[in-house]
Amino acid sequence: MVLVVILKALADENRLRILNLLRKGELCVCEIEAILEITQSNASRHLNKLKNAGIITYEKKSQWVYYKINETFVKDNALLFDYLNNYMDNNSQFLKDLQRLKEYKNNRITCA
């Protein structure tokens, strides 16, 4: 069932933290690794799971793979997406991650 696949993909703290970051725009794998302090293989795996559920899409640009939220998914699951948005905007863990994202973006232009 599609709904189960979506909910399973969302039901993981690391994947929710990734999604939280992607709300602010596309990111490559190594940026996600650095900001969330998770291993490379883990980041890649979680992104793959979100992609397989249709929640995010990716685009390869030279050696980097940029992941972003799938706008079709957002349209098709607007209420769910609004719920997550609202939850993340009011949760300290997610806000902390967004702060780290901002610092990361201010300090570095490229990856690693």
By CB under 7 A, name the binding residues for DNA. 8, 11-12, 14, 28-31, 33, 38-42, 44-49, 58, 62-66, 110-112
The interface partner of residue 93, options being DNA, its own copies, none and the CB cut-off 5 to 8 Å by kind, is its own copies
* Residue 67 backbone phi and psi in degrees, to 5: -105, 145
Distance of CA 111 to the CA centre of its chain: 16
Min separation Cβ 83 and DNA, Å: 20
Residues whose CB falls within 8 Å of the CB of residue 65, separated by 6 or more in sequence, listed in order:
28, 29, 58, 59
Given its own copies, DNA, none, residue 19, with its beta carbon under 5 to 8 Å by kind, binds none
Measured distance CA(110)–CA(83) in Å, rounded: 32
Closer residue to its own copies in complex, CB, 92/106: 92
The least distance separating DNA from the CB of residue 32, rounded to whole angstroms, comes to 8
Largest Cα–Cα distance in the chain? 43
| Partner whose binding site includes residue 98, from its own copies, DNA, none (CB under 5 to 8 Å by kind) | none
